[in-house]
Structure 1
């Protein structure tokens, strides 16, 4: 196992292929470990000669977890809307610094970045503050500002109250999430349960999703800075995404010069195997085109 240090935080990461091809950094969604980027997703990227490196964000997988920290999501949401000043336990900039620590540990000067949901916010933050580190961007389920104006209070209540004592309880939780966030035709209880058990055994931490959510609620509007980003960018989004509205992805694409957005009519806020495979294939072509144009 490989780890990088960012102050008191240890970040676990894993190379998904051997070789010295251009690295592709994989950043998962809120509360999710790096196992979401499975071999089905990575295979077409490896076939194009790239080396995927999947990272467990802090509070996921084998990275440092802040399990004794319990954010008040309502207060953080209010602060994001200009009412109060309650900060999150950590911000998107801190998570970006974690990723840069991995690059330093591996001696990587620049890489391609894939960010899913909150992972996309982290990737955008890196592109803004450390543009020389970024060769290409692929954002799946994209947003570029806080969802504080759109997230219902009931969702925050559920996150703050969430207590998942064991693997079986996490399976039940993920079955419910898949039914709400996904598309009915993709729902496969056996598949969802198997992936939930894989994630749990790799590392699901108490309150991790809430702390990630706190960071995303508090994120500043990145759009004023994204106009200066000159990185080939691909955005993949679903018209049926009930968590991040399509409009948020469109505005992100309109802000990054030259960004491409592709909308899947059959995609929600979920990543079943058929979509993971398609994402991997499309992202591999995108990064291959970037490599050709350099």
Structure 2
């Protein structure tokens, strides 16, 4: 485990294997630590000679957490929709600069990026700001603009009120999230509980998911800027995704020249082992092709 610094924020990251192969930076979803990218996902990357670097985004894992900051999510949503001046504690561009700090700490000029949900939004923002640093994009559950128009206020109220006192409470939360956002065929309570415990022990922080949602609600519309990119891009999305409609992924595909989208009819907003395995294999092929280009 190592750390990079962006101003007052310390970002924890891990090179998952030794070597000098091409770097693949892994960015997890809202409120989730880097442990979501496990060996099950990374095995095809290891086999192809790539060096995965998984990052704890701010407010997750061992990175800086703003636990005393409670964002007003309804106000931020209203502002994103043009009514009000609600601001998030930090923005997607700040999170992108955190990633650049890791790259600079590791002396990485260019890297391949894998981003899941908000992690993919951060990767796109970095590509817009610094296209010379991005060799390819792999976006899982993709969006390229604010979700303020599709997230109900009730969901935001629940996030703001959420209080997770201990590991057992977090396990219960994740079981509920899996039931709400995943596919019934993938619901394995024992597996979900075990993965929740791993995440909790690595670092789940009070209000972290809400602050990530605040950043995504206030996200800029990147679509016009993405049109100037010439970065090999793969998008993996689920037809059954109840959080990010597949139309948002289609928008992202349309915005990035040459992007490829693959819609899985059996995928929700979740990452069970069967999907992590298929994602890893498909992304390894995409990165290998981009690396040769």
* Partner residue, 2:251: 251
The two structures have a TM-score, normalised by structure 2, of 1.00
Aligned length: 293
Question: Which ranges in structure 1 are unaligned for 5 or more consecutive residues?
Answer: none
Distance 1:147 1:72 in 2: 16
Q: Counterpart in 1 of 2:32? A: 32
Structure 2 residue matching 1:24: 3-state secondary structure: strand
C-alpha deviations, 1:177-196, integer Å up to 9, x for none?
00000000000000000000
CA distance in 2, matches of 1:85, 1:220: 15
Match of 1:133 in 2: 133
Q: Secondary structure at the match of 2:54?
A: strand
Where do 4+ consecutive residues of structure 1 move more than 3 Å? none
Shift of 1:17: 1.0
Secondary structure of 1:82's counterpart equals: coil
Please list the CA deviations of residues 77-113 of structure 1 after superposition, one character each: whole Å capped at 9, or x if unmatched: 0000000111100000000000000000000000000
* SS across alignment from 2:3: strand
Instruction: Within 5 Å, give how 1:188-199 maps onto structure 2.
Output: 188-199=188-199
Deviation at 1:269?
0.1
Instruction: Report what 2:68 is aligned to.
Output: 68
> Secondary structure of the residue that 1:151 maps to in structure 2?
coil
Please state how far the C-alpha of 1:133 moved relative to its aligned partner. 0.3
SS of the residue corresponding to residue 3 of structure 1 reads strand
Query: Where does residue 116 of structure 1 map in the other structure?
Result: 116
Map 1:31-110 → 2, pairs under 5 A: 31-110=31-110
CA-CA distance at 1:244 after TM superposition: 0.1
Q: Distance in 2 between matches of 1:8 and 1:248?
A: 33
Residue 66 of structure 1 and its aligned partner are, at CA, apart by 0.1
Q: CA deviation at 1:46?
A: 1.1
- Equivalences for residues 127-166 of structure 1 within 5 A: 127-166=127-166
Q: Distance in 2 between matches of 1:274 and 1:45?
A: 16
Gap regions ≥5 residues in structure 2: none
TM-score w.r.t. the length of structure 1 is 0.99
Task: Name the Cα RMSD after superposition.
Answer: 0.4
Secondary structure of the equivalent of 2:192? helix
Q: CA deviation at 1:31?
A: 0.1
The SS at the match of 1:171 is helix
Supply the distance in 2 between the matched residues of 1:266 and 1:45 (Cα, whole angstroms): 24
Query: For the residues of structure 1 that align with 2:150 and 2:264, how far apart are their CA atoms?
Result: 22
